[in-house]
Amino acid sequence: MFLPVVLGLIPLSSAAALYSTYNFDPLEHLGGVAPYFSPQDPPTDPDPPQGCIPVRAAYLVRHAAIYANDFDYEEYLEPFIKKLENHTSIDWSKIPSLSFLATWVPPVTEAEEELLTRVGKLEATQLGVSLSFRYPGFRTPQRVWASSAERTFESAKALVRAFELDDNTINVVSIYESEEGGADTLTPYDSCPAYSSSAGSEQSAVYQEKFTKPIMARLNAQAPGFNFTSDDIYGMMELCGYESVIRGRSPFCDLDLFSPDDWLGWEYTADVQYHYNVGYGNDVAGVIGLPWFNATANLLMGAEADGASQDLYVSFTHRELPPTVLVAMGLFNNSEFGGSEATINDTMPLDRINHRRAWKSSHVLPFLSNIAVERLNCTGSYGHSDGDYYRVLVNDAPQELPDCGDGPGTSCSRQGFTTYLNDRVARFEGYSDKCGVDYKNSTDVLTIYSDPKIGNGTAVGKRAVESKHLRYNGRIAKLAGL
Ligand SMILES: *[C@@H]1O[C@H](CO)[C@@H](O)[C@H](O)[C@H]1NC(C)=O
Ligand SMILES: *[C@@H]1O[C@H](CO)[C@@H](O)[C@H](O)[C@H]1NC(C)=O
Ligand SMILES: *[C@@H]1O[C@H](CO)[C@@H](O)[C@H](O)[C@H]1NC(C)=O
Ligand SMILES: *[C@@H]1O[C@H](CO)[C@@H](O)[C@H](O)[C@H]1NC(C)=O
Ligand SMILES: *[C@@H]1O[C@H](CO)[C@@H](O)[C@H](O)[C@H]1NC(C)=O
Ligand SMILES: *[C@@H]1O[C@H](CO)[C@@H](O)[C@H](O)[C@H]1NC(C)=O
Ligand SMILES: *[C@@H]1O[C@H](CO)[C@@H](O)[C@H](O)[C@H]1NC(C)=O
Ligand SMILES: *[C@@H]1O[C@H](CO)[C@@H](O)[C@H](O)[C@H]1NC(C)=O
């Protein structure tokens, strides 16, 4: 008799707090295999600050969701899938957390590696629509830029289709992924000899070993004979991300199979890898990221007459470039408050997780991850004079730039931004030298947005398969034949 009376007095919200409100979504902890989401890191307001309207903006976007990249496929997915096919004698249906394996069909074949999934195409189109909502006053862009791989080019096409009201009004300009392109491409890590695509694997292997050990022991106890390895576990967890963007869901995401703490271990392993690969733990990261940031900042600050012919500049690249741009900008720096340069590697210990790190790959490089730089025209922003201000957003979340926060909201005045840019340039300029370029005709500057030699690209029809693009990747030719 007593209980109902008490409950009647408690407002619903605090009654709910009597029960566990814990929830956990593995898809938000999958680093480079995470489907697109807005992590709200930090939860700053994405709307322009009071009195401000965006007048120009530039976006650097990672391609949208793909079936699997070749490294992940060959290193983790294929060996696990092959091993499954080899172990037909195990009766998976008797093993509770793995019973789905009795009927599971792998979602990806070698032929589909690197292709955009339907989800990927849809999300790239969605990004186009949300940009048109965010910038209703902008002129439709004439050109969108993409590095020449099929997945980046196709992502650009999907975005363009959302922007176009009529067919063939926006061109996509393909920027060849040259290994000798110096700083003048959307893939400057490829042409930087000092960059190694395997950097960080040694360090991340240490944490991978640690977090997978108890999982291996558990699964090997449940399914003796399969001999789950550390890489099998890592690959199964990757499959949660890949299968989700291919089929819309995956049994590997089930929290009864891998617990939230298991996922946090996976995520930290990836974060250690990216820290040493394209983050603050790699001395050449900022050098690789600077040319895009410098070119973009100048494009936004320039007068109309300086060749800023568009209001919106969108460029598609691969997962490596956005994090290096963040380093060039000084964002998501674990040491920002109270640290120093010398201790940056200590912020990513290999024997335990630094849960309070700023550097979270799931937040900075999921599929379709994007960095925006906006020029705002502010008038009547109380406490600030009228004029030009600059603002950076990462996956929708406005970021305060280090030593550059003298404007409304998270923005920075033109004068502050100029000083800040000069500091970053002084620190990271000298691409060819610092990369140890060993080929001729390198360049330290990105000029694709203004160089007439780059050309105007090609129009994107709503549906057409343009034969021009077949050369980028033999695989699309096979697809077109279907
Ligand atoms: C599959 O079985 C064959 C024959 O026993 C063996 O040679 C091969 O290494 C196995 N492959 C895997 C991935 O386990
Ligand atoms: C299990 O796999 C590991 C790594 O491939 C290998 O070293 C070990 O010999 C295997 N154990 C059994 C019992 O097959
Ligand atoms: C962090 O570690 C990497 C790899 O060992 C090294 O190249 C880099 O110089 C270190 N950074 C600092 C600031 O010590
Ligand atoms: C990261 O923050 C520390 C501490 O403020 C600073 O010394 C260091 O220069 C920053 N690193 C970069 C690349 O901006
Ligand atoms: C900024 O806004 C003010 C007030 O609306 C307007 O007069 C001015 O032309 C704008 N400047 C630019 C560069 O758009
Ligand atoms: C470098 O540029 C010069 C002048 O444009 C050209 O003649 C030469 O072939 C180029 N060298 C290489 C290795 O591309
Ligand atoms: C930065 O951009 C300006 C304007 O385009 C250019 O003159 C300068 O050389 C660039 N510097 C670097 C290091 O990219
Ligand atoms: C690119 O487009 C501009 C403006 O539409 C035009 O003036 C120029 O000739 C075009 N360039 C090429 C190489 O087609």
Are residues 203 and 56 located together in one domain of the fold? no
Residues with CB under 6 A from ligand 7: 291, 294-295, 298, 425, 429, 444-445
Are residues 245 and 267 located together in one domain of the fold? yes
| Long-range contacts, stretch 156-159, CB < 8 angstroms, 24+ apart | 156/124, 156/314, 156/316, 156/460, 157/460, 158/64, 158/116, 158/120, 158/121, 158/122, 158/124, 158/125, 158/128, 159/61, 159/124, 159/125, 159/127, 159/128, 159/131, 159/314, 159/316
Are residues 128 and 203 located together in one domain of the fold? no
Domain CATH number, residue 446:
3.40.50.1240
Amino acid letter at 64? A
Calpha distance 142→159 (Å, rounded): 13
Residue 276 belongs to some domain of the structure: yes
| Last residue in a domain, options 261, 281, 301 | 281
CA of 59 to the centre of ligand 3 (A): 30
Are residues 213 and 298 located together in one domain of the fold? no
* Overall number of domains in the chain: 2
| Last residue in a domain, options 265, 281, 297 | 281
Residue 311 belongs to some domain of the structure: yes
CA of 282 to the centre of ligand 3 (A): 6
Token couple for 323: 């994090």
Calpha distance 411→391 (Å, rounded): 5
Are residues 104 and 129 located together in one domain of the fold? no
| Last residue in a domain, options 281, 297, 332 | 281
Residue 25 belongs to some domain of the structure: no
Are residues 387 and 442 located together in one domain of the fold? yes
Please report the pLDDT score of residue 14 as a whole number.
55
Are residues 221 and 75 located together in one domain of the fold? yes
Are residues 411 and 306 located together in one domain of the fold? yes
Residue 172 belongs to some domain of the structure: yes
Residue 21 belongs to some domain of the structure: no
Are residues 303 and 427 located together in one domain of the fold? yes
Are residues 106 and 140 located together in one domain of the fold? no
Cβ 377 under 6 angstroms from ligand 5? yes
Residue 228 φ then ψ, to 5°: -60, 130
- Which structural domain range is residue 209 located in? 68-113+196-281
Residues with CB under 6 A from ligand 3: 276, 281, 283, 341-342, 344-345
Q: Which residues of the chain have pLDDT under 50?
A: 1-8, 464-482
Dihedral over alpha carbons 449, 450, 454, 458 (to 10 degrees): 60
Residue 217 belongs to some domain of the structure: yes
Calpha distance 316→63 (Å, rounded): 6
Residue 299 belongs to some domain of the structure: yes
Q: What pTM was computed for the model? A: 0.91
Please report the pLDDT score of residue 342 as a whole number.
81
Residue 300 belongs to some domain of the structure: yes
Are residues 351 and 321 located together in one domain of the fold? yes
| Contacting residues for 311 by C-beta, under 8 A, at least 6 apart | 55, 56, 57, 135, 137, 138, 139, 141
Are residues 211 and 180 located together in one domain of the fold? no
Q: Ligand 1 atom 1: the closest Cα is on which residue?
A: 86
| Contacting residues for 342 by C-beta, under 8 A, at least 6 apart | none
Please report the pLDDT score of residue 166 as a whole number.
80
